[in-house]
Amino acid sequence: MAERAALFVLNDDATRAAWRMANRSQTGSLAELAACGADARVWLVDGRRVQLAEAELPPGNRRVQEQALPFALEDQILTPVDALAFASHRLTATRLAAAVFDVAELEARLDVLEAAGLPVDQCVPDILCVPWRESAWTLLFDGDDAWLRTGPYAGSRCEAAQWRAFVEQALVGIDGERHVRVYGASEARLAEVAALSPALLIDPASRAGAVDLPGLFAEGHAQGHVIDLLAALPRRRQAGVGAARRWWWATAALVIVAALAHASFMQWRVSTLAARLADERVRTEAVFREMFPQVTRIEDVRAQAQQALAEVEASTRQGAPFLDLLAAAGQGLSGEAADGLQFESASYGNGALELRVRAKDMSALERYQQTLAAAALPVQLLSVENRDSAAVGLLRVGQPR
């Protein structure tokens, strides 16, 4: 409900109203009520024109239970159900609280209010706006009228002179004590209520003439135990359905527009990413050709780059080439460093040089091996044989792959 909602009651001939808005109670004509600036209007219908009841129904969905509700309450009402409307509120899965009223009468009054510039946003029985507490009743007197509320969705309105009959009827079947909050009663009437039954514990909430009826109804309405009669009117229900359909179409249109906008954005985004991908591929191929000019045909840049890098890495692990190894090994076989060594043969394979060298003894071969090692060359003495009073050794120079 809107913050500036006006809760109003009408007099018997519906020419004047009392209303509550923005924590202020007022009275005046229907024209004054229409000009009060309310954002929403809640009409509190005379409780004597509405019958409150509860019904136990078989389990089922809400629509089926609402259809069965008139037949479940048929024994409690005198008017043919065809002339009545049944507004309901679900209490449990199988129990419903109902407000039963005459359709034609309420429609006629709503038409009068609309003609006076007072379209109604919510229509609630005034008895459900009498303040209520758990395990307590509320008895309200205001002039010639009285209200008795006995539960969240139970109570009745009557003439003030008839209050005794309604309280006695409510006492039927009550065990134990019952607290009663009484508004607007004189000392004499309070005494009458207390004398009615020892089970009644009287709590005077306000004295006679001190009741702000619109303010009190606003307090009870805020408690939330209300049943909106408009929901049960066929004509207004169809209008509500039409409004709901219009909202549905409006929502669907917004969803479609949003979907189209999203699809357009995604299409633009995909085309942008595709163009960026093509540019990156061109740049990648250019870098590849620059790094590996020996590759003339590009099919899979990643696989070919990995292969070319592996080949480069393998070539870097090959060690010194043949001529370098041969030159380094020959320095120990010439001049003063020869130490009587004689070169017999050499072979090269798999990145290593194998030399066959004749020496006068084994110690000369060992000194030659140390000379090569000092030159930072991997060297290994593979074998030695004695031949013609000389030692012939086979050495491997370099690291084989």
CB-side neighbour CA atoms (13 Å) of 9? 20
- CATH classification at residue 14: 3.30.420.380
- Predicted local confidence at residue 313, as pLDDT: 67
Asked, for residue 301, whether it belongs to a domain, the answer is yes
Q: Are 182 and 157 part of one and the same domain?
A: yes
**Same domain, yes or no: 258 and 192:** no
Highest mean pLDDT among 268-277, 324-333, 339-348, 372-381: 268-277
3-class state of residue 132 by DSSP: coil
Q: What is the pLDDT of residues 226-281, one digit of tens each?
A: 999 999 987 665 444 445 556 677 788 888 888 888 888 999 999 999 999 888 88
pLDDT (0 to 100) of residue 241: 43
The contacts of residue 95 (CB under 8 Å, 6+ apart) are: 54, 55, 56, 57
Tokens of 60: 């089922």
**Rounded to whole angstroms, what are the CA distances from 79 to 51, 180, 378?**
11, 32, 119
Which pLDDT score is estimated for 3? 67
Is residue 332 over pLDDT 50? yes
Q: What is the pLDDT of residue 118?
A: 93
14 with 130, same domain: the answer is yes
Least Cα distance to 227 among 124, 322, 321, 147 occurs for: 124
Q: How many domains does the chain have?
A: 3
Share of the chain residues as helix, strand and coil, in percent rounded to the nearest 5 = 45, 30, 25
What whole-number distance in Å separates Cα of residue 174 and Cα of residue 374?
Answer: 118
Q: What is the pTM of this model?
A: 0.59
109 domain residue, yes or no: yes
What average pLDDT is seen over the chain? Answer: 86
Cα 357 off chain centre by: 88
* pLDDT tens profile 85-128: 999 999 999 999 999 999 999 999 999 999 999 999 999 999 99
Domain closes at, from 272, 295, 315: 315
Asked whether residue 128 is assigned to any structural domain, the reply reads: yes
Residue spans of alpha helices (H) in 116-212: 163-171, 187-196
Angle at 140 between CA 135 and CA 145, to 5 degrees: 140
Q: Which residue, 205, 232, 259, sits at the end of a domain?
A: 232
Q: Which residue, of 286, 315, 344, is where some domain finishes?
A: 315
Query: What letter would DSSP give residue 3?
Result: T
Verify that 91 and 220 share a domain, yes or no: yes
What residue spans of 73-201 are helical by DSSP H? 103-115, 163-171, 187-196
Residue 241 within a domain = no
Q: Answer yes or no: do 90 and 194 share one domain.
A: yes
Query: How many C-beta neighbours within 10 Å does residue 32 have?
Result: 13
Q: Does 240 map to a domain?
A: no
Q: Which domain does 284 fall in, by range? A: 247-315
State pLDDT tens for residues 169-212. Answer: 999 888 888 999 999 999 999 999 999 999 999 999 888 777 89
Q: In what order do the strands lie in the sheet with 352-359?
A: 342-349, 352-359, 390-397, 379-387
Q: What is the pLDDT of residues 165-179, one digit of tens each?
A: 999 999 988 888 899
Question: Are 76 and 139 in the same domain?
Answer: yes
Task: Answer yes or no: do 280 and 131 share one domain.
Answer: no
| Claim to verify: residue 145 and residue 13 sit in the same structural domain | yes
Say if residue 73 is in the same domain as residue 42.
yes
Q: Are 110 and 219 found together in one domain? A: yes
Q: What is the pLDDT of residue 148?
A: 97
Q: Could you give the 3-state DSSP secondary structure of residue 269?
A: helix
Does 155 lie in the same domain as 173? yes
84 and 204 inside one domain:
yes
Considering the domain boundaries, does residue 239 fall inside one? no
265 occurs within a structural domain: yes
The CATH number of whichever domain residue 373 belongs to comes to: 3.30.1360.100
268 domain-assigned: yes
Which residues neighbour 323 within 8 Å (Cβ) at sequence distance 6 or greater?
Answer: none
